[in-house]
Structure 1
Amino acid sequence: MQLSQAQVSPISETDWLLQFHTGLSVASNQQLHALAAQFRQQYGGLLQDVVVAYDSLLLRFQQPQLHAEALMNDCLKQLADSSSAAATTNVIEIPVCYDPTLHNDLLAMAQQTNLPVEEIVELHSAATYHIYMLGFLPGFAYMGSVDERIALPRKVAPVPVKAGAVGIAGTQTGIYPTASPGGWNIVGYTPLQMFDAIREPACLLQPGQQVRFVPVSLSDFESLQSS
């Protein structure tokens, strides 16, 4: 994505939107997170919030900002002129139990994909995923991309889902931080707490990070859950 092609537009007196129009692109999303960090560093005193989505970034100023477009274009130019490489992050390992006794959707997924359950687990846990953004629920990380062989559409209707459920929807995977209705195909469960309001940071996973799922046995899952 050429930064010069980014579209900057106002959406209210205080809110400005920067769009790349690239869809799911790790490279573009990484650029947006770099921009977000730059905005916070240079103009933090003017900003109420900076929100990164898949291929867009929202700047919410504390007051109407007449020079917002100039500020955004200045940061875009600085990032384009920078020769520094994108920051690398350590891969965060998330333990996941794929045992069917925990009531997952692996058997149904096997029928839809014509793959053995073991291969679905192998494909899901073999990839390293990029966290595009947080949304839907506090601490829910949208990650991609899953192997196209196990990319499945959402369920027709939402069903009750437990906290810690790891699901797939389309080419994305994510972890439900709390019990809620959900339509993603559940492959397993993690014993880790994705969101804790009294923890700092409250969200275990953060946008821009890299994640790998590590299969664990049912006994290890129960041990980690109780620790």
Structure 2
Amino acid sequence: MRKSVWKLAPYECFEVDAIAGWLDEMSQKGLQFRTKFGPVCTFERSPSPARYRVDPRRSEFDPTEEERAETYRHFGWEFCSYYTRYAEVYRAEDPSAPELHTDSDLLDGLVKRTIRNRLLLCLLLGINLWWFILRDIPDVFVWYAESFEAIYLSLLLAQTTFTLAVILTIGQTLVAWLKYRKQGRIAIHTAQRARRWIFWRGLWLGLVVLFVVTYLWALLTYITSS
């Protein structure tokens, strides 16, 4: 049996309560969180259950971060790993360790950063649609279509998957943000909600992989046809 296990991470990064609940559930199943790479979390098999909490941070260069980590350690919470650049995961093996309380200002900052990043994605999507649809297909791609049909089709497929992946990402963030605004508090973890998130995130990851593969296919076709 493998010691390390990889799982797709559910929820938006600012849904700290839901993420913590999911990590706690994994811990009860014998999977202890180690780190996160993009949309994938790495777990290590261990029978020792623990509690996890996700805490927003101001900046990777903030001098108070080390002091805060030391305070948490004093109360039984050890730094585990970064969940994103602006969110940290803490772990407590002592069930009596006092609860951590998320700074509302830091959480609002994390929400704003996430929304800002998604707006940048919207900008990229707009440029992409303008270039390929509203502006008509550029001459170079018309030449591809006439000369190397495989290249043209692969590029067209890549652009389509890119568009779908961005729309899916923005849609997930929008739903999570609306819940945050409506409830005034981040939604908690439920098994049904996690499964729904993982399904859509898996679909997004598949689109990203297809996007990369089709571009590489276009490049390889061009090189071999030259």
Structure with the bigger RCO (C-alpha within 8 Å, sep 6+) is 2
TM over 0.5, yes or no? no
Q: Whose helix fraction is larger, Structure 1's or Structure 2's?
A: 2
TM-score, normalising length from structure 2?
Answer: 0.29
Q: Whose strand fraction is larger, Structure 1's or Structure 2's?
A: 1
The structure with the largest alpha-carbon Rg is 2
